[in-house]
Structure 1
Amino acid sequence: MNKIKLIIKYILYSLKNAPLIFSVYSIIEVINYMTPAIKILVVAYFIDAAQVIIKTKTINSNFIYISILFFVLFFINYLINLISKELYVRLSKRVDFKFEGDIIKKSSKLKYEVLENHENYELIERIYENSENAITSALEEISSFFKIIVEIFSISIIILESSILISSIVFILLIFMAVVAYYSGEKEYDSYTKSMKFFRRAKVYDTMLNSEEMVDERVLFNYGNEIANEFENLYEKGRKIDIKITLKNIAKIKGLSFLMSLLAFGISASLLYILTFGKITSGMFISITGAVFNLIHPMSWTFSNIVKDIIKRINYMKDFENFMKFPEVRRKNSIKKINKKDVEKIEFKNVSFKYPNSNKWILKNLNFVLEKGKTYAFVGENGAGKTTIIKLMLGLYEDYEGEILINGKNQKNLSLEEWYEYFSVVYQDYVRYSISFEENIKMKDIKKCDDKLFDEVIKISEVKEVIEKLPEKEKTVLGYIESKGNNLSEGQWQKVAIARALYRNAPIQIFDEPTAALDPISERSIFEKFFSVPFKSMKILITHRLGGVKYTDIVLVFSNGEVIERGTHNELLDKRGVYYKMYEKQRRWYGE
């Protein structure tokens, strides 16, 4: 019953988003279902009328009418198929486009924690991999299924008048074929999901072998052969799963095909026997026999494949429903342009947090206050909780205990779209967008013409000299997607990421290991410029490399999710505690 509901959802989705086109398409398809049965009758009458002419050697009006009906029927059938294809294309453009748009819109609203879950990520991959023409392909498969059902049912009804036994056998065979095809389809889909896990893992190794970004290490460490072997092993495991179930299904289908052939001969022999008693005409015998033999392939091969594809569509719709149930970020229905107000204070009050599906507390009753007009540095060993704190501050995780406040406003009482406007961030794992240099920096504000701000941020981030060397300056496409693309070094890409964060011009600027790809001299140069520029509210630096920390006003040292030291750079050095030991290890990097 649930599977039928999922099939109906394809129909309802089409009806909702293209009511007129879908309604006309459905009517045309229903008419199309009826044409095989009508063809059998018309062909039978045509043959019978032709035999009369052969006997009487006279063309009568009955033959003329049937001949006209015969050619009109085939013309109508041709016209119906033509109209059906045109409507299918129009329906696809309307419905499939809307469906893919719904997927993209939903993806843009997903909570960060959803994307960090491996199983969720696999489901999202399946949704995207099979989204092309998902709705109309399902409709076409459903339509093909009913067409074969109606055709066989029509034949059994036509035969019913002459023989209840033969009609019953045809109908029972129909049910048997449907059951076999259903279970074959279920097993093939199960094997598909199992094999895809191996194929996805193989895809990772394929990327390692072919990615331009990984070519240096691949050559240097000479791991090409080992990775190629891993790719082949994983791909072979997936292929064996597919082949195993495919061979089983082929054996079943061949068996059914043989059974259908025997049945076709049996039906023909039975009809021939009935013909001798005059219960059917020779025209009806020839027409039904031809139709039965024509059904051998559709009933054995085509029908099984159609049911298999429908099972895939049912499971896809199930995935889609689960995908649409994923939690979204909090947004208001109507967001006006948000003023990026100054932030007077950020406060963590008794904040405790553990990651989804984990019992370990990363933070426990954490308290601290950041104030306007100051620059802060968050330092600590790996696993101290620094990045987790930033993710909570940004609103990427919402399932925490305690309160996170900006200007006294609780994060959980604001839409995340409104909350996000307070921040700009540079991550250590920055993204390299294969778009123009200018678009890389401006992003969603590409149409905003703030030349003064643009010039300012490219100077601070030291990308101006990079732009000057490019063939089309800031209009140059980065990466190698286009023939005119230009790739950058690690350090240059990181400077672009810094420029992007600065251009956002948000009250709170966060830099998570922003200079990890830069040498200490370049790092010092950027920090000197960066911290000398006036800012709206506050700047936060998260780093293991402490060369830039001296430029901040307050240093917070974290350990096990708690603030264990707080003060200025010099105060903490004088204290000779944890921060002092960390800094002493790095002092020589900066020529001190």
Structure 2
Amino acid sequence: MSLDVKKYGVKDIVKIPLYYSKRNAIVIAGLKILSGLSSTLCMLAIAKFINATVLVFNGQGSYSSIIFSVFLVAVCTAYLWFSPHIVALAETKLENKLRESLRVSLVEKVASLKYNYIENQESWDLISRVCKQPEIQCTEAYGQFFNMVSLIISILGVFTVLFTQVWWSAVIILLISVPLFMLAIKGGNATYQADREVEKYNRKVEYLSDVLIGRDAVEERTLFSFSRKVNEKWHEKYEKARKLQLKVRIKWFIKVKSGGIIIALLSSIIILILIFPVKSGALSIGLFISIINNLISLISNLSWQLPECADQLARNKGYLIDLENFLKLEHKEEFLDKPSELPIKISTLEFKNVSFKYPGMDRYILENMSFKIEQGKNYAFVGANGAGKTTITKLITGLYEDFEGEIIINGLSIKEYSQSKLKSMFSVVYQDFARYYISFKDNVAFGNINNCSMEDIEKALNIVDLKNEVEVLPKGIESNLGKVRQGGVDLSGGQWQRIAMSRAIVSSASCIILDEPTAALDPISESDVYRRFEEISRGETTIFISHRLASTKLADEIFVISNGRIVERGSYTELMNINGIYAEMFESQKSWYINN
């Protein structure tokens, strides 16, 4: 079965592992089912052994019957001892197979989702629950399901023996066990719902834990000594999660275990009653002892293990419901496509009365915005935080599709282009760029996965002034970055930003967008990088988004945005002559560039 949009139920707990690793799934199921049968066979073998021993002791039987009984008990015991180890090995193999296949499938599904789901808190919670170690979730669910099957087989074995000997005792216990099982199912559903709520707190707890012990915050943690305060916040979130879980678990624990106490009392009465058929000879001593032993085991199974299995089944079913809802999220397979190897040159890009608001919001981020960008020119968007600058880049690159008005590229609506074509047109460096803990070379080469030569990489590093830094690294451009791998090297924030910019430079895109990518650089270094960038990008189209206005002097046209609208436009000289918003912003920053 593939991960299709459909109704998911308990049967899929079995079907998913069977689909991805049939051999290991069959081994696990077969061994667990045999374990359930073995416990019943072992009970009968023990009864036979006791009866044969009594007969030999009374001079009425032979030693051969004892030897055979001992052999049966030894085989059953050995199997029950060895099989968990074989099952554990098969489960490890199944988990690895699921990691290689199921996990990859889910990652691809996430990558193909519409962008608005990533920024929505509720849908991101759902994605996190489904994609957090799915291979472990599915392996454990499969094993737990067949643990329950094995347990039921074992219980039915005891019931069968009881029914053939003292039928009414089996009926009474069965009548109590069924509602107990159903109660456990309800408890499992309630527990999973609580776990869903707890997950929201757990993510905050994990984040605060990383702040307390992670490397990224070590300098500020030492300097500002905020550990005690953050630890209080961590404890507060942790306690909320713990108490929420505990409250639900205690409630259902009391209900389920109350039923278990009733079963224990009834079983004790049944054991006392069974003495009479033993005295009359209707029940052999061996079978009596074996039944007592298994009744004690049955009490444990019905009071503890079976409710626990039902609880796990309900929670695993809850995971499948989440999986079903996750797969219903709208996605496009073309989001997985690589940039076209034949990129389209952008001659013109135009916004015509474009308005946009984020899903679930009433306020428009952009309102009736219109502008035109032409090939080979440099453009800049400036404005206060929240003015809508980054939103423009997300609309240009096709991340958001639900806008009003028209976005036209080379005379065609942006909606006419495939994702592969759009990816080939644009290269973006965001302020919150990614840091890849892989080799320096691959960090840059990611900018052009179709065709990136060493010459392109060296040229880009020279533009962003990183060539000298690379030469002093232990393994040069092949050095691993970050501390994930042994021998990895750390870089400064400014160096990481230059790497992000180099990815844009090696791209074959005809329009490069720089969205506040130089925030970690000093103003003079920033201006130098922009100047170098402007030189290499001659003939191509560039869009700068920056709070630092000195860099915008390089732009052929500057768009000043306020409250989702373009309030001023023109070259640096034209805007300074207008003496409006741009001129006021520039004058307020003038001292930053006094040496420029």
Normalising by the residue count of structure 2, what TM-score does the alignment of the two structures yield?
0.90
* Residue from 377, 381, 401 that aligns with 2:380: 377
| Partners of 2:235 and 2:213 in 1: CA distance | 14
Q: Does 1:399 align with 2:412?
A: no
Higher mean Cα deviation, 19-28 or 451-460?
19-28
8 Å contact kept, 1:149–1:174: no
Aligned residue runs from structure 1 range 253-264, under 5 A: 255-264=258-267
In 2, the alpha carbon distance for the partners of 1:551 and 1:444 equals 24
Higher mean C-alpha deviation, range 28-37 or range 229-238: 28-37
- In structure 1, list runs of 5 or more residues that go unmatched: none
For the pair 1:232 / 2:235, whether they are aligned, the reply is: yes
Match of 2:543 among 533, 540, 545: 540
- Residue deviations 1:138-196, cap 9 Å, x none? 11111111222222223222222233321111212321331332233233333333333
Classify 1:88/1:498 alpha carbon distance in 2 versus 1 (closer, same or farther; 3 Å). closer
Instruction: Give runs of ≥4 in structure 1 deviating > 6 Å.
Output: 332-336
Aligned partner of residue 340 in structure 1, secondary structure:
coil
Which amino acid letter does the alignment assign opposite residue 573 of structure 1? M
C-alpha distance in structure 2 between counterparts of 1:417 and 1:11, whole Å: 37
Q: Which moved more, 1:448-457 or 1:135-144?
A: 448-457
Partner in structure 1 of residue 469 of structure 2: 466
Alignment match, 2:97: 94
Instruction: Return the alpha-carbon distance in structure 2 between the equivalents of residues 216 and 236 of structure 1.
Output: 28
**Secondary structure of 1:295 counterpart:** helix
Q: Aligned ranges for residues 64-213 of structure 1 at < 5 Å? A: 69-71=72-74, 73-74=76-77, 84-213=87-216
How far apart, CA to CA, are the structure 1 residues paired with 2:338 and 2:516? 32
Query: AA paired with 2:401?
Result: E
Secondary structure at the aligned position of 1:6 is classed as coil
For residues 225 and 470 of structure 1, what CA distance do their matches in structure 2 show? 38
Instruction: Write the distance in 2 (CA, Å) between the matches of 1:519 and 1:440.
Output: 23
Change (3 A) 1:246 1:54: same
Q: Give the conservation status (yes or no) of the 8 Å contact 2:147–2:309.
A: yes
Q: Counterparts of 1:214 and 1:370 in 2: how far apart (Å)?
A: 41
* 2:391 equivalent to 1:388: yes
Report the CA distance between 1:350 and its aligned residue. Answer: 2.9
Equivalent of 1:566 in 569, 572, 586: 569
Identity level (%): 31
Secondary structure of the structure 2 residue equivalent to 1:347: strand
**Deviation of the 1:356 alpha carbon:** 0.6
CA deviation digits over 1:318-353, x for unaligned, max 9? 112222222224508987953123211112233221
The 5 Å alignment of 1:281-430 reads 281-329=284-332, 331=334, 337-430=340-433
Distance 2:226 2:63 in 1: 84
**Equivalent residue for 1:438, pick from 441, 447, 451:** 441
Moved more, 504-513 or 426-435: 426-435
Superposed CA RMSD in Å reads 2.8
Quick one: distance in 1 between partners of 2:528 and 2:90? 63
Is the aligned partner of 1:270 residue 2:270?
no
| Contact 2:377/2:556 (<8 A) preserved | yes
What CA deviation, in whole Å up to 9, does each residue of 1:265-302 have, x standing for no partner?
22212222222333322222122111111233333222
Which string of whole-angstrom CA distances, capped at 9 and with x for unpartnered residues, describes residues 370-400 of structure 1?
A: 1111111112233322211111001111111
Q: Distance in 2 between matches of 1:113 and 1:173?
A: 50
Name the aligned partner's letter for residue 485 of structure 1. G
For 2:423 and 2:167, locate their aligned partners in 1 and report how far apart those are by CA, in whole Å: 73
2:509 aligns with 506
Shift of the alpha carbon at 1:72?
A: 5.1
Give the structure 1 partner of residue 499 of structure 2.
Answer: 496
**Residues 25 and 88, structure 1, Cα contact 8 Å, conserved in 2:** yes
Deviates more, 1:533-542 or 1:505-514: 533-542
**Farther off after superposition, 288-297 or 507-516:** 288-297
* Unaligned runs of at least 5 residues, structure 2: 1-6
Q: Given that residues 329 and 416 in structure 1 are in contact (C-alpha distance below 8 angstroms), is that contact kept between their aligned partners in structure 2?
A: no
Matches within 5 A, 1:11-50: 11-23=14-26, 25-50=28-53
| 1:151/1:567 CA distance change after superposition, 3 Å | same
Q: Which residue of 1 aligns with 2:456?
A: 453
State the distance in 2 between where 1:276 and 1:90 align: 53
Q: Aligned pair in 2 of structure 1 residues 266, 374: CA closer, same or farther (>3 Å)?
A: same
Distance 1:472 1:529 in 2: 27
